[in-house]
Structure 1
Amino acid sequence: HARQGQLWIAARKGQAPEIEILSVDDGPGIRDLSQAMRDGFSTAGSPGTGLGAVQRLATDFDVHSEVGKGTVILARLRTAAARTGAFKWGVVALPAPGETVCGDSWGVAFDGHRAAMLVADGLGHGEHAAEASMAAVDLFAKQPFAGLKEALEEAHIILRMSRGAAVTRAQLDAETNSLLAAGAGNVAMRIVSGVFNRSVLAQNGTVGVQMRRVEETRMDWPAHALVVCHSDGLQSRWPPQAITALIGRDPTLAAAVLVRDYGRGRDDVTVLVMRRDD
């Protein structure tokens, strides 16, 4: 059914372990998704139980298909729901071609109506890049809601023993409808709602190598908007229309569509997407 099809599989440990599987393709798309989900329907002479069986077996299931553009299918198996407060989130992180370790790292944390997120892009590729980006994540995990300016300045000191990383951190508040962000380097952040599309400007520099005085940016966060944070493995000029149809869906679908359609294909790529939980 697909062209250029791939399976992206992630296993996550912790208090709520899970396995997440994404099927991503550039195929013809599915013209009638509701019909395709019914057992017994097939366009290839098969029993026609594939999608329905996956949906029944999965804890979480979602699918997005565009005729002429392709299909993304998400299936997640988990033992218990993770505590995410007022938020839903999803991420796709893939290593550069030929690498077995992704040089990007990411983190999320939740506290009631507040959420914190980070994406770090270690310079270069491979294990040394991953060591630099994970050092930023380890610091984030200790104090995810620390002051952004102080947190980045501390990361700048800690990452001096590494090759350095581009880092963006943000804190989201679902009650005040606001976002506070700060970073150094080419990790981009954008708020997308279809009518409100705004980029958070990143400062030049590399955490652990050379960094200017940290400046925080506060922005409005409309009720239905997605917050997208990504490394430079994704093209910076992707159109917001690419994911506006996915607002309100599992955020992992939006991350996967962006990587499929706008990934550079020669670098590590990480796309982290967050929204309010309806």
Structure 2
Amino acid sequence: MTHRYEDVWVSTADPSVIGGVRRTAVALATASGFDQNHTGQVAVAVTEAVSNLVKHAVDGVVLVRPHLERPGAVELVAVDKGPGIADLGRALRDGYSTSGTLGIGLGAIARMATGWDVYSVPGRGTVLVLHFTPDGLPDPPLRVSGLRRPIGEESVCGDAFAFADDGDAISVLVCDGLGHGGLAAHASREAVRIFMEDPHALPVAALERLHRGLGHTRGGAVAVVRVGRESVMFAGLGNISGWIAHAEGRQGMISLPGIAGHKGRRPRQYEYALPPHATVVLHSDGLTDRWDPASFPGLFAHSPAVVGATLLRDAGSRRDDACVVTVKQGR
């Protein structure tokens, strides 16, 4: 799966964004063949979720896009630094809602969605992820998610990612194109193209192809990982951070110095054991590598999208392009 869309994060500082986000979600649902009933559920759930951000969030942002793992599905990611939800169980019960909204509450929003997840820490904010499918039927647990955000007011992000699942393992590429803007984005898109020619190759073989193939671009930092049921294979060149994270801590994966396409040692591949219930995290240097799992109680029991959105919010910088990909263990 390649990420063919720019992630357009919309600030919820202005109430007028509610209608715009709803229309975007409805347009995606209609294009994916949702019937009138399911499209209406998307419209109501998205309206309520964004309304809550407008009313209560600090630095609230929302993203609506085609779902990365589920063809035809629509995904909403809502992130804020607001007061958080002190009693999540109460918030999920019927009859509890914020004043002045449609009054359906978080529990009803969750029931309208095919899948949902929420992570909230009082005083730090909330991350809510919803996805909707045309038939509304439950689907298998989600295993991978990726999020991007451009520097400042740029319209394109110089970071990119791609992934592929062969049933036994998920292979992932993250590329941070050198610099920012269009030329950096061109380098990272070219990395995606090269990777997707043979996405299930061993990481070291993929990295060798990328190093050879990016010479006509600016180049960039590149990492390739293959996440199986019990182990992770990793090869990196440049400052893409790779981590195996769980509730008790994290283990870093080794990336060699260099710029793919221009300079660097011969790529090497490293293999690591994957503890039960671990999450593999790859991110560009648009996120600080100083985040600590202990600072996020319970986070790594959540879905890949919630983990990634929380890290992007709390470890991300607006002074650089940012990209984070999160992968759960194989089934």
TM-score, structure 2 normalization = 0.77
Describe how 1:1-278 pairs up with structure 2 within 5 A.
1-12=56-67, 16-44=71-99, 46=101, 48-79=103-134, 88-174=143-229, 177-195=230-248, 197-243=250-296, 245-276=298-329
CA drift at 1:150: 2.7
Cα distance, 1:18 vs structure 2: 2.5
Percent identity between the aligned chains?
38
For residue 264 of structure 1, report the CA deviation from its aligned partner. Answer: 1.4
> Could you say which structure has the greater relative contact order, defined with CA pairs below 8 angstroms and 6 or more residues apart?
1
- Tell me how far apart the structure 2 counterparts of residues 217 and 85 of structure 1 sit (CA, whole Å): 30
Evaluate the alpha carbon distance shift between residue 12 and residue 102 of structure 1 in structure 2; reply closer, same or farther with a 3 A threshold.
Answer: farther
Shift of 1:157: 1.9
Q: CA deviation at 1:147?
A: 2.9
* CA gap 1:14/1:256 in 2 versus in 1, 3 angstroms: closer
Compute the displacement of 1:47 (Å).
5.2
Deviates more, 1:186-195 or 1:8-17: 8-17
Q: 1:31 & 1:90 partners in 2: Cα distance?
A: 27
Cα offset, 1:24, TM superposition: 0.6
Closer, same or farther in 2 for the Cα pair 1:87/1:182, shift >3 Å? Answer: farther
Partner SS, residue 9 of structure 1: strand
Q: Distance in 2 between matches of 1:107 and 1:184?
A: 17
The amino acid that maps onto 1:272 is V
Aligned in 2, Cα 1:244/1:171: closer, same or farther, shift over 3 Å? farther
C-alpha change, 1:200 and 1:42, in structure 2 (3 Å) is same
TM-fit CA distance, 1:122: 0.5
> Secondary structure of the residue that 1:190 maps to in structure 2?
strand
For 1:267 and 1:254, locate their aligned partners in 2 and report how far apart those are by CA, in whole Å.
20
Instruction: Tell me the CA shift for residue 255 of structure 1.
Output: 0.5
Partners of 1:205 and 1:26 in 2: CA distance: 36
Structure 1: which amino acid aligns with 2:204? K
Please state whether the residue corresponding to 1:134 is helix, strand or coil: helix
Question: Normalised by the size of structure 1, how large is the TM-score?
Answer: 0.91
Question: In 2, distance between residues paired with 1:125 and 1:57?
Answer: 39
Partner SS for 2:83: coil
Q: Could you tell me how far 1:183 is from its partner in structure 2?
A: 1.0
CA deviation digits over 1:130-174, x for unaligned, max 9? 111111111211211213323222212211111111100011221
- Whether the 8 Å CA contact 1:190–1:228 is kept in 2: the answer is yes
Q: Which runs of 5+ in 2 are unaligned?
A: 1-55
Partner secondary structure for residue 215 of structure 1:
coil
SS of aligned partner of 2:285 = coil
Distance change in 2, residues 1:144/1:266 (3 Å): same
- For 1:47 and 1:121, locate their aligned partners in 2 and report how far apart those are by CA, in whole Å: 42
Aligned positions, number: 274
Cα shift at 1:188: 0.5
* SS in structure 2 of the partner of residue 28 of structure 1: coil
8 A Cα contact 1:39 1:48, kept in partner = no
Comparing 256-265 with 8-17, which one deviates more in the overlay?
8-17
In the alignment, the residues of structure 2 paired with residue 119 and residue 179 of structure 1 have an alpha-carbon distance, to the nearest angstrom, of 15
- 1 CA distance for matches of 2:261 and 2:124? 41
Unaligned runs of 5+ in 1: none
Measured after TM superposition, the shift of residue 16 of structure 1 is 1.2
Give the helix-richer structure, 1 or 2: 2
Q: Deviations over 1:8-36 (max 9, x none)?
A: 22225797122211111111111111211
